[in-house]
Amino acid sequence: LCSFIHSPKGFPKLKNDTFLRAARGEETEHTPVWCMRQAGRYLPEFRETRAAQDFFATCRSPKLCCELTLQPLRRFPLDAAIIFSDILVVPQALGMEVVMVPGKGPTFTEPLKEVEDLLKLRQKVDVTAELGYVFQAITLTRHSLEGRVPLIGFSGAPWTLMSYMIEGGGSTTMAKAKSWLYRHPEASHRLLRLLANVVTDYLVGQVAAGAQALQLFESHAGHLGPEQFQDFALPYIRDIAQAVKSKLKEEALPLVPMIIFAKDAHYALRDLAHAGYEVVGLDWTIQPQEARAQTGKDVTLQGNLDPCALYAPKEKIGELVKKMLEGFGTQRYIANLGHGLYPDMNPEHVGAFVEAVHAHSRHINKH
């Protein structure tokens, strides 16, 4: 497993900063690429490492998180690593119990049912006490990467976390969580504010621990319409960007690029482009040219190959990547999938995707 290298100057020097340059809008020789869920069950070595362990026990082991984060980088020339963790560690920090049920996914033993249940949540969270294991994993991984690529930290966004806490797990309609927005708007805002405060501290703590970029996942944005998104998601997304940046300044920590990924929220792309993030992540349901038109020239875009494209033959993956790069352009752009990798994907096809991004973007840049 990962060895912890103490060096007097702190972290090893970064050798490949292509991802960070693209995130900041600087010129790059090739388009950087990474994949959501790149540390995952599609890798046999991931399944082996995880085999004996409960999922959240794995999340609480800095050594295992480090190992799982590094596995895809041993196979593929990715331009960034993302720390292995889960968005539901935040509700756990608030005092909720979440277990991983085989075949069902994450499950809350006691979801929030009534407004009174909000009183059961910790109102003040010491993120170092509750989530220090994530910070340790980040520091260990940052050393173990030996400067190969930057390390991304992340969190779920308030609405997405709220929806899990009320639904008690995954849901196709989010009807229970959405009913709160209509029936209990004040209580909903109270919960969202509490989550935004914890997420802010959590993200700042990740930078202090060594994260070089941050991604906020609003994975359930698509369950909201434009009005509800405006009321219950966007204000907190904006607040988090602003609060994280001002706290990083206060604590004399690096101002790292921030990415917002709001899945299925095309209706909000213009707003997201002005929400204080350097990068806007896109799912696969929008045309590159359309996304550029809506977000303007001042943000970097990330995405958005349909993950299922990786089931195609390798030559076809190459063609799809080329088309995607032509649509977005090779600059101010980070290649990724429009969602995470699926467990039954062939690792060789992931490799083909990564190599195609590098090869085609270099070719386009030369000509």
- Annotate 1-67 with three-state secondary structure: CCCCCCCCCCCCCCCCCHHHHHHHCCCCCCCCECCCCCCCCCCHHHHHHHCCCCHHHHHCCHHHHHH
Q: Which two tokens stand for residue 230?
A: 């405006």
Q: Which of 159, 258, 276, 263 is nearest to 206 (CA)?
A: 258
| Of 86, 117, 231, 306, catalytic | 86
Distance, in Å, from the CA atom of 69 to the CA atom of 39, rounded to the nearest integer, reads 6
**Residue 24 designated active-site:** no
Phi, psi for residue 259 in degrees, rounded to 5: -115, 135
Residue 286 near residue 304 (C-beta atoms within 8 A)? yes
**Residue 267 designated active-site:** no
Q: Which of 221, 90, 77, 233 is nearest to 153 (CA)?
A: 90
| Of 50, 142, 238, 332, catalytic | 50
**Residue 164 designated active-site:** yes
| Of 24, 41, 75, 193, catalytic | 41
Contacts of 308 (CB under 8 A, 6+ apart): 342
**Residue 41 designated active-site:** yes
Residues annotated as catalytic are: 37, 41, 50, 86, 164
